[in-house]
A and B are shown apart, each in its own frame.
Chain A
Amino acid sequence: MDFYGSHWVLTFLIFFPLAGAVVAALVPERLARSVALGVGVIELLVALPLFWTFDPAAGMQNRIDVPWMADWGIGYRLGLDGISLFMVLLTAFLLPLTVLGSWSYIRDRQRAFYAMLLGLTTGVVGVFVALDMFLFYVFWEIMLIPMYFLVGVWGGKERIYAAVKFFLYTAFGSLLMLVAILYLYFKAQGLTGEATFAYEAFLALPLTFTEQALLFAGFALAFAIKVPIFPFHTWLPHAHVQAPTAGSVVLAGVLLKMGTYGFLRFALPLFPAAALNETTVLIFMSLAVIGIVYTAMVAAVQPNAKRLVAYTSVAHLGFAILGIFAFNLQGIQGALLLMIAHGLSTPMLFFLLGMMYERRHTYEIADYGGLAASVPILSAMLVFAALATIGLPGTSGFVSEFLVLLGAFQTHPYLALIAATGVIFAAYYMLPPLQRIVFNALDRKENRVIPDLNRRELTILVPLVALIIWIGVYPRPVLDRMEPAVSQLIHQVEGGRMVVAPPTDHAAERPPVAAADEERR
């Protein structure tokens, strides 16, 4: 069995955390976190070699396509390409860190907590590698449940409200996507007589423009809520403020990226004519730009640090959407890199806020002040994380935002110009709270007696720092692994854009792109 040359690595990465979740739920309470840590470390160690075994030139790899529920054409179909690779790696990378971050934070019902955390990973990895639309949808929805409990059980005071809002809002968004998937399924069945949920079969479907537009809307709504794109973002601050550290880390680190990933993997390739329609592009880029400026301003006046970071997430993912809809190499690769960069810097901020919460039991910025004098290492880390978040050159945030803006400027210079003011607003929302937490006088007694970071906490943060700098200074290994997949995506979607089925045509004739796609395989 060639583990890294076959689907087994993906299958392992999906189901091993699930098995771990079962074990964590069964062992004695005090062992649960150790089990979870072991599972997380193994998950990471198994995922890591993918970085080297992945062959950028080989396109979709580690594939499997076996029937699962054959009667309905549902298959166990997985694959990994340059777009999903880093999302999988990021998920695996964050897992052991989130366990460590919860180590002393979570006191109650630890078995259930770690089981949920591990189960969540199964759903997330599944979303990123599924190549069967039904399977994808199952993972997409299943992951809501552990997340719901993470917020609803281990969250703050208003956890129930936040959890329900998160659950209903995102579940509602997904419903229309399910309808769209089913439409595609029956359409495919009608055209070919073959029942299948295979992603590639859907790619080949001839659709009229109206069909594309409606189906795209169904998918896009689900993804837009998940990202979230302005004005669908208001569930996120609630969820973040209430969630425990691990919940916030996973939410910001990978869950939001499922939305941007969804655009790249599904919404754009499946409905190219509708997605790259000038109006659509303009709508999404405008919403992205509004999101960047508006949420940055909203973030700036938040008294609660977690809420502030939640809003900055919306602003950052606005950049990702901007890059995706710029739809050129710089834009999309920048967006993908931004998804990674944001998946490192924002979790780092949430980890630090969690560590501060453990010491002071508050997320209110006004309760801090002068921490640099009492806890210099924590403060230095916080300064670093804040600067990485606002995209200081030398960190991963800069390269990604630069590429996104450069890409967007080629297609929509005026929108990119407004988006670029985001660099000013980023300083505006990040530096004042940073000052009020880290600098100024150490005038509260409570802040004087807190301990600095311990070894466990440094173990969480140092890898994040290293990766943020590495990607900021030498992003080439990452970019090189993405580029073939991204240029293939652009090629495919640009080609598919021209091929719109005439409104009355129900012939089973396949568009040239699909044929080309077949040949490539």
Chain B
Amino acid sequence: MGDGIVNGAAAGFSPFLLGWIVLLPLIGFLVNGAVAIAARRYKPVPLAAASEEEDVAHRHEEHPATPEPIPATPPAWTKSLPTFVAPGVIALAFAIALVNFFRMLGAGDALPVIERYWSWMPVGDLQVDVAFQLDQLSMLMTLIITGVGALIHVFSVGYMKKDEGYARYFAYLNLFVFFMLILVLGSSFPLMFVGWEGVGLCSYLLIGFWFREKANADAGKKAFIVNRIGDFGFLIAMFLIFAHLGTLNFVEVFAAAPEQLAFGGAVVTAICLFLFLGATGKSAQIPLFVWLPDAMAGPTPVSALIHAATMVTAGVYLIVRSSVLFAMAPSASLVVGLIGALTAIFAATIALKQWDIKKVLAYSTVSQLGFMFAAVGIGAYVAGVFHLMTHAFFKALLFLGAGAVIHAMHSALHATHSPRDAQDMRNMGGMRRWMPWTFGTMGVATLAIAGIPPFSGFFSKDEILGYAWSGARGELPISQGSLFGVGGEVWMLLIGVLLAAAALLTAFYMGRMMLYTFFGPNRTGEAESPHLHEVGASMKWPLVVLGVLSLIGGLFQVEADVPIVNWFAAVAIGGPDALYNFLAPVTAPAAAVMAQNIPAATVATHPAWPVLLAIVIGAGGLLLAWYLLKPAALGVEGEEPDYRRAWERILHDKWYVDEAYDRGVVRPVVALSGFFARVLDRRLIDGTVDWMGRAAQSVGMVGARVQSGHVNTYAFVLVVGAVLALFWFSGGFAWLAAS
């Protein structure tokens, strides 16, 4: 439409039903939402059938106290319809995405393609369209979201089968996919922001899905508010971009930025830091990571989809999408890398001492996201996306596996109405006997996240570590930058060391989780353990598919020039460096910016020792856990004493960050609000108004009569006066006199 945007047809690639990829989940949401509303009608509510003419308010007092209404069984279609619609729309969207992917492969690199639907916010210079941008990056994200999303939807069919909010659950989950696709496909910052806050909404609704428990609703609320702090940063970044570049459309912003903004200048640095603030919220990085562990209150498949595979990686996507800007701001990039590395090690320490299986995985996710930020911070954008992808496979698998375990634990504990915690690893043990598929697939994922070759995590994590060592030797463009007067290569050395340490802890806590869950004697209880069981088909097959992906996912990006890694070049999917080559058009502008502005960027060298070190770290961590931890000696929840040593308690209690925020931020704000409300507003401001009113009254003649009771008289006088005045003005009296 004359926007100066590359036209699809001319580029040799025309998207296939692009809008439908996004529309299908929305349709799913509407259908499932309608089913959810229809299903609730079968719950008899005493007064609902009463006729409208009667006054509700007057009736309800004399209504006899009704016992808790017993839900009548809703008809079967209220479950069977969502069962087919919800995974169906996502699978169909994935199929369409695949068609687009293969078309794109054959079309060369003349992308991105913008498909424009309507003009959203046309005000003066601001022209924001509802338009989707399909390029290699958004394509990859779309495949991950719909592909992993479809698997998790299928898994959910089994997991949520007995939940009374079945349709509502799938409505939210479909809505989430809809917003997530808007997030990655939106062609401008504001449209991306729609998805950005939309996924936050769905996250809020799904964390608090079992809203009757206050803790769940609290967790949802916390996630929303903390995310809004990040969203504030995103907003300011947009305002800065518009103020300096006059547009918010990706293509135009990234084309104009290198020409109109100073390299390393205050403006682009501020933009990047504010964008990163947004990313720390959505992707749970220091200082805004505190909501993610609490978010585990939601159903476990939600944790897999939203809080591991897709939504929390949105911050990484944001930075790669804006890589041109970050390439122009080396200091801001170093901040990103440093925060990422710090988060990686920090969260990993906490994961060491958690008993709740989901909490281990939650902190693990925070930590792995830190790896991704460290990667994109040091300019290794493809490595960041690569880890995003492999992490989506193995972490979704780990969460679903944990869900399967929890599911089994639930039915076992439910059988005896045991009050014990189904998520506490102290109540598990030896689960591999009952759940061989779950154990096997989770084992694959564990080897992947620990970085053991040839599992997927090895390739992606190794690439990040390799880049960090390269940077530490001054071989990356960002190495030439500086932060607080310290050179980039020093920071990168620190980042590399932190990441290596985090990788060691990762292997250790994953080993611990597997040992306590699947090995040793079973601690579920004698009456309960016979009820433990492997999951059904709808839950098993998603695990298997993700297991395969966790195994081979690394072969999408086998670095041809890195020793040891390149042993796998022969089996690399799509040839060596496939992902790098695929994403090159997206990251090329950033590389060009760096090449243009940083004179001494040398070619990276690839020694073998970092790869060896990575393997040693991964294997060492697992072996350490195997030798140090004794699942056989572990007591059950309650018996097993809490950690005694101070450092263990600190880790178990998450470094008291929540407590610090509560005392340092939440309580002061609430106290200040209370002061404003009670003292400043009511006493001072309103009190002054009342005082002035009373003063005026005591002076005025009508004073006494304005007291309540007589005020109607006053108003009546005023009405009469006004009417008379109008009458007089309009010459009414003259007319009366004349007649």
Of residues 670 through 698 on chain B, the ones whose CB sits less than 8 Å from some CB of chain A are 670, 672-674, 676-677, 681, 685-686, 689-690, 693
The 9 closest A-B pairs by CB, nearest first: A329-B124, A451-B47, A439-B211, A234-B686, A409-B239, A439-B217, A393-B194, A297-B673, A160-B708
- The answer to whether A387 has its CB under 8 Å from any CB of chain B is yes
A301-B674, A413-B239, A420-B236 known; A152+B712 contact, CB < 8 A: yes
Chain B residues near A301 (CB-CB < 8 A): 670, 673-674, 677
Interface size class of A (residues with CB under 8 A): 35 or more
* Stretch of A46-54, A125-133, A366-374, A495-503 contacting B (4+ beta carbons < 8 Å): A366-374
Residue among B213, B689, B731 with the most chain A CB within 10 A? B689
- The answer to whether A213 has its CB under 8 Å from any CB of chain B is no
Contact B65 A445 (CB under 8 A): yes
Chain B residues near A424 (CB-CB < 8 A): 225, 228-229, 231-232
Contact A361 B231 (CB under 8 A): no
Alpha-carbon distance A370/B50, docked complex (angstroms): 22
- The answer to whether A480 has its CB under 8 Å from any CB of chain B is yes
- The answer to whether B17 has its CB under 8 Å from any CB of chain A is no
Contact A370 B212 (CB under 8 A): yes
Contact A448 B69 (CB under 8 A): yes
Which one of B47, B119, B208, B711 contacts A450 once the chains associate, using CB atoms below 8 Å?
A: B47
Of residues 434 through 476 on chain A, the ones whose CB sits less than 8 Å from some CB of chain B are 435, 438-442, 445, 448-452, 454-456, 473-476
A149-B715, A420-B232 known; A330+B123 contact, CB < 8 A: yes
Contact A298 B201 (CB under 8 A): no
Nearest chain B CB to A485 CB, angstrom units: 13
Residue among B69, B236, B239, B730 with the most chain A CB within 10 A? B239
Of residues 117 through 137 on chain A, the ones whose CB sits less than 8 Å from some CB of chain B are none
- 10 A-B contact pairs sorted by A residue (CB < 8 Å): A234-B689, A297-B669, A330-B126, A359-B56, A405-B235, A406-B242, A410-B242, A439-B211, A439-B217, A449-B66
Nearest chain B CB to A336 CB, angstrom units: 11
Contact A451 B66 (CB under 8 A): no
Closest residue of chain B to A428 (Cβ to Cβ) is: B225
Chain A residues near B120 (CB-CB < 8 A): 399, 473-476
Chain B residues near A440 (CB-CB < 8 A): 211-212, 214, 217
Closest residue of chain A to B242 (Cβ to Cβ) is: A406
Alpha-carbon distance A399/B122, docked complex (angstroms): 11
Contact A148 B715 (CB under 8 A): yes
Chain A residues near B60 (CB-CB < 8 A): 359, 449-450
Which one of A142, A330, A431, A451 contacts B221 once the chains associate, using CB atoms below 8 Å?
A: A431
Contact A104 B56 (CB under 8 A): yes
A374-B45, A449-B47, A449-B60 known; A145+B722 contact, CB < 8 A: yes
- The answer to whether A199 has its CB under 8 Å from any CB of chain B is no
When each residue 213-232 of chain A gets 1 if its CB lies under 8 Å from chain B and 0 otherwise, what string results?
A: 00000000000000000010
Contact B669 A413 (CB under 8 A): no
Known pairs A152-B715, A420-B239 / 4 extra A-B pairs, C-beta < 8 Å: A163-B711, A169-B689, A372-B211, A416-B239
Contact A428 B669 (CB under 8 A): yes
- The answer to whether B197 has its CB under 8 Å from any CB of chain A is yes
Contact A435 B217 (CB under 8 A): yes
Of residues 341 through 393 on chain A, the ones whose CB sits less than 8 Å from some CB of chain B are 357-359, 361, 370, 372-377, 387, 392-393
Nearest chain A CB to B48 CB, angstrom units: 5
A376-B40, A476-B119 known; A387+B201 contact, CB < 8 A: yes
Nearest chain A CB to B201 CB, angstrom units: 6
Nearest chain A CB to B586 CB, angstrom units: 25
Closest residue of chain B to A480 (Cβ to Cβ) is: B122
Contact A393 B711 (CB under 8 A): no
When each residue 32-48 of chain B gets 1 if its CB lies under 8 Å from chain A and 0 otherwise, what string results?
A: 00000100100001111
When each residue 263-278 of chain A gets 1 if its CB lies under 8 Å from chain B and 0 otherwise, what string results?
A: 0000000000000000
Chain A residues near B516 (CB-CB < 8 A): none
- The answer to whether B526 has its CB under 8 Å from any CB of chain A is no
Closest residue of chain B to A457 (Cβ to Cβ) is: B52
Which one of B212, B213, B715 contacts A167 once the chains associate, using CB atoms below 8 Å?
A: B715
Interface, chain A (partner B; CB < 8 A): 68-69, 71-72, 74, 104-105, 107, 138, 141-142, 145, 148-149, 152, 160-161, 163-165, 167-169, 231, 233-235, 294, 297-298, 300-302, 328-330, 333-334, 357-359, 361, 370, 372-377, 387, 392-394, 398-399, 402-403, 405-406, 409-410, 413, 416-417, 420-421, 423-424, 426-428, 431-432, 435, 438-442, 445, 448-452, 454-456, 473-476, 479-480, 483, 487
Which one of B55, B681, B715 contacts A145 once the chains associate, using CB atoms below 8 Å?
A: B715
A145-B722, A448-B69, A450-B47 known; A107+B123 contact, CB < 8 A: no
A432-B221, A449-B60 known; A454+B685 contact, CB < 8 A: no
A152-B712, A392-B201, A441-B212 known; A329+B123 contact, CB < 8 A: yes
Chain A residues near B221 (CB-CB < 8 A): 431-432, 435
Contact B190 A328 (CB under 8 A): no
Nearest chain A CB to B483 CB, angstrom units: 23
Nearest chain B CB to A309 CB, angstrom units: 14
Which one of B124, B228, B729 contacts A423 once the chains associate, using CB atoms below 8 Å?
A: B228
Alpha-carbon distance A141/B50, docked complex (angstroms): 43
